[in-house]
Every structure is written in structure tokens, then in C-alpha cells.
Structure 1
Amino acid sequence: MVKNKLVESVKNSVAYSTWKLVLNTCIHMLNAVVFLQMVNFAVGPHVPRTKQMLHVIFSTLGYQLLMMEAIMTFNGNNSWSRLISRNHQKLVHLFIQLVASAFIIVGFSLAVSNKDDIKGVHFLSAHAILGLIGFIFTVISVMNGFMTFLFGKNSTTCSTFLKVLHNISGCVAIITGLCSLIFGIDLNFFRMWHKPEMVNTLIVFIAVCMGYILINPMLNLVAYLKSCRS
């Protein structure tokens, strides 16, 4: 009993609330650093102007920046969305997710087209395979996200199923997409233009951001599954 009161006291303290807001802000900053560094690499004077470099920009923008922001829309500590209503959060999430998906589709198409141009073999590396899985689940997530938005307002078994499906497909999409980005950063082509410390730092930043944004979806998933059992 005393322990529960202590936990509640800590959770309701100003220091704890401030810490959560600061942590959320730091995640936004790490997110931006990764994206800007990838763009800086893609537009740098040392790399050829190819579809592959456009693929880097579009895919990083889609996964690392926009899809992460779309997921963080529902985070209670998110600085720019915490004060708007739940319905408005859903609209903002839908809009950002649509834009992110458009960039991801374009980025994926550019990678496939570039591979065709050089007569290469598709989907052999971990980076390419994870990118394909991420692309597929991004499309699935957007489709059932629309269905959840339209038909998931009522607390029925069908709406709960749609929410669970959207949650899982979205998590798989962001995990595989960001893991694909990590494997892409780890490629020799990227490492030859960057110091090992920079590459490893970017990988850690991506992993930290991914771990943070998955907390809320996982908690929501557990809540949905509990509601299915009850």
C-alpha cells in the first residue's frame, strides 16, 4: 500500500512530468539529427546524383522523420500534440501517416528502379529485404488505418480487431523500416564517407528513437488484447 502511494506520488510530481517532457524533446532532436545527417550525405559533393541518393532522402524522410512523428502524435508527453483533442490527434496522425507513406512508396520505387538501371538482383541484402517488408506493412497499415478511422469509433469486437491489426502492422512497418535504415547506414558505401564513430552514433540514435516510440503502441496493444479477453 505504501509502495503504491509512493509510486503514485512520483508519477504525479512536477519533476517526473518535466523529465518525460524533456525526454520526448530529446527524441525529437535525435530524430532530426539522423534525418539531417542522411540528407547531408545524399546531397553531398562526394556522391553521384542517382536515384539511389533520392531513395535515401525519401525513405529517411518517410520512416525516420514523418512516421515517427505520426506515432508520437498520441504520446501524452508530445510537445506539439498533447494539448489537442483525441479526435484532432487522429486526424493529424492520419495526415502525417499518409504523407509519410507517400514518401516511403516513392523511396522504395526509386530503389527498385535504380537496381533495374544497373541490372542488379533485387532483395538480396538484409537492408533490401527489411525495406521490402517495411514497404508491404506500411501499405497494410495505411489501409487498415483508414478502416479503423472510419469504422473503429464503436467499441465492438470488429473495431477492436481493426485497432489491433493497425497497431501490429504499424509497429512491424516502423521496426522493419528503421532496421532497414540501420543496415543501410552500415553498408560500406556509407561507411567509406563517414568516420566509424559517426556511423555507430547514428545507429544508436535510431535504436533509441525506435525503442521510445514503440512504448505507447505496445501498451495500447496490451490494452486492446485485454479488452478482447474481457
Structure 2
Amino acid sequence: MALTTNHKDDFDAEKIKNSKEMLVPAEDSDVKLKTFNNSLNILSHILIGCTVAISVLYTFREGTMSATRMHIILCVLGYQLLMAESILSLSPHNSWSSSLKLVHKRRAHWILQILGSGLAIAGSIIIYMHKTVHWNTLHGQFALVAVVFTCVSFINGLSSLYAYELRRFIPGILSKITHILFGTVAFVTASISLCYGFDKRSFRNWSTSEMADTFIAFTAIFTFVIIVNPLIVFFDKTVKSFRR
């Protein structure tokens, strides 16, 4: 879930270094706060890499490639890698996209969004077709919420991307606010579902209970770091919309 911007909107990732739309408000001269922001970004990338790597290793453990294993790798790559990077791509502190122009950041955002949504939805369909009983666990229930909001956010993202062109039919601020909200819900519920996946007996037996708890903590930390900025933007835009 993620942020989608338009060149006609007030939000400009290149011009918000002194606004509340940063992870932590800071001035260019404040090296400590800039370092803190950059450190959080680097930490989130490290934790994402570790979490995706352990999931891939678990998927390719000894045995045949089953529907469950395909579900794991597609959903983890879709949600925790591509969608996470899609959200981070719009952050002014993101390591690989901070030097890009806004138009290129937006392009990277929707490309990652399309790829991530596609993988996640495909992984969900595979496990749905494989199982006969559905959504009887917290893992499955949160996964269902994640898929629903992923689809809604993807469709809503189109109206947000073309907010200026569609302003006669849909208020631009409304499409952007709802896109942020739906995307955030999708990403958070996907991470919660992954945490319940790490808590499954099969994963704990393959790794250890300590390792499972570690990756649950990793997922919680990078999810929190990633969604802080979108939530700040969400509340900021919501307050501004009521003041108009």
C-alpha cells in the first residue's frame, strides 16, 4: 500500500524536506535527524532482506515444490519485498530512489505495485484452489483482508494517479487519502498474516522457536517503520481536507 502522487497535487516528495510528511521532520542542516531517518530506512531494507531470505530458504527446503510452498514464496515476494519497496520508493529518505525525480519515483512506485499485487494475488489463488477449508485460522483471515484491500487499493490507485484528470468526478484529495488508507491496511494485514505463518509449527520445527520469534519481531519492526510516513501523510491530508 502505498502513496501515489500527481504533478498537479500539493504533495511533492522533492519539496517536503521541512514538512510534516517526513518520517521525522528535519532541516537540511540537522545532520543528526537526517542520519536517524536514513538509518531507519537502511534498517528496514536489512530486515526486509532477512525476512524474505529466510522465507525463500524455507520454501526451497528438502522436498517437492508444493502449492503451499508456491503460496509462501509468491506472497512474501509480492507483499514483503515488492510492495514494501513500492511504499519506500516515495520516501525522501529511501536509499535507492532519493536521487530520482518525482516522475520517476511515481513510475517505480506503480511498477512495483503492479508486480507485487500480481504475485500476492497469484499466491493467494494457488492456496485457495489447493485447500478445501478456507480462512479457519488467523493466518488465513488476515491474508483474506490483505488480498481484498490489495485489490481495492490497486483499483483506487488508478484514480489517485489520475486525480487531476478525474477531479470533476472524484475529489483528488479523496482518492489520494483512500489510496493511502487501503494500501496501508493491505500491507499491515499481510505482515500480520506472515507473523502467524512464522508462528506455525512447521516453521518452528524447521528453524527454532527462537528464530521464529526473531523473524516475527523483524516483520513487526520493518512494517512499523514503513507505514509511519504514509500514516503521517494520511492524517495531514485528512486534516487539510476538513479545513477547506
Q: Which structure 2 residues correspond to residues 6-45 of structure 1 after superposition, within 5 A?
A: 12-45=29-62
Q: Which residue of 2 aligns with 1:54?
A: 70
Q: Which structure 2 residues correspond to residues 38-117 of structure 1 after superposition, within 5 A?
A: 38-45=55-62, 47-115=63-131
Structure with greater proportional helix content: 1
The 3-state SS of whatever aligns with 1:214 is helix
1:88: Cα distance to partner?
1.8
Gaps of 5+ in 1: 1-6
1:154: Cα distance to partner?
8.3
Residues 8 and 182 (structure 1), Cα distance of their counterparts in 2 relative to 1, 3 Å cut: closer
Kindly indicate whether residue 148 of structure 2 is the aligned counterpart of residue 132 of structure 1: no
The 3-state SS of whatever aligns with 2:162 is helix
Residues 9 and 175 (structure 1), Cα distance of their counterparts in 2 relative to 1, 3 Å cut: closer
CA contact (8 A) 1:34 1:206 kept: yes
The 3-state SS of whatever aligns with 1:122 is coil
Q: Which amino acid aligns with 1:82?
A: S
The 3-state SS of whatever aligns with 1:199 is helix
Q: Which residue of 1 aligns with 2:16?
A: none
1:142: Cα distance to partner?
0.5
Higher mean displacement: 155-164 or 219-228? 155-164
| CA distance, structure 1, for counterparts of residue 200 and residue 194 of structure 2 | 10
1:23: Cα distance to partner?
2.2
CA contact (8 A) 2:177 2:234 kept: yes
The superposition leaves residues 141-165 of structure 1 with CA deviations (integer Å, 9 ceiling, x where unpaired) of: 0001011112247888711000011
1:24: Cα distance to partner?
0.9
1:13: Cα distance to partner?
2.0
1:226: Cα distance to partner?
1.4
| CA distance, structure 1, for counterparts of residue 127 and residue 26 of structure 2 | 52
| CA distance, structure 2, for counterparts of residue 208 and residue 155 of structure 1 | 37
| CA distance, structure 1, for counterparts of residue 143 and residue 111 of structure 2 | 22
The superposition leaves residues 123-179 of structure 1 with CA deviations (integer Å, 9 ceiling, x where unpaired) of: 100000110110000000000101111224788871100001101100110011110
CA contact (8 A) 2:135 2:141 kept: yes
Q: Which amino acid aligns with 1:105?
A: I
| CA distance, structure 2, for counterparts of residue 133 and residue 191 of structure 1 | 25
The 3-state SS of whatever aligns with 1:44 is coil
| CA distance, structure 1, for counterparts of residue 180 and residue 76 of structure 2 | 21
Q: Which residue of 2 aligns with 1:4?
A: none
Q: Kindly, what percent of the aligned residue pairs are identical?
A: 28
1:196: Cα distance to partner?
1.0
* TM-score, reference length from structure 1: 0.89
CA contact (8 A) 2:142 2:193 kept: yes
* TM-score, reference length from structure 2: 0.84
| Corresponding pairs, count | 219
Gaps of 5+ in 2: 1-23
1:12: Cα distance to partner?
3.1
The superposition leaves residues 88-108 of structure 1 with CA deviations (integer Å, 9 ceiling, x where unpaired) of: 211110110000000001110
| CA distance, structure 1, for counterparts of residue 185 and residue 25 of structure 2 | 33
| CA distance, structure 2, for counterparts of residue 209 and residue 88 of structure 1 | 24
1:22: Cα distance to partner?
2.3
Residues 151 and 16 (structure 1), Cα distance of their counterparts in 2 relative to 1, 3 Å cut: closer
Whose radius of gyration is greater, 1 or 2?
A: 1
| Higher relative contact order (Cα pairs below 8 Å, separated by 6+ residues) | 2
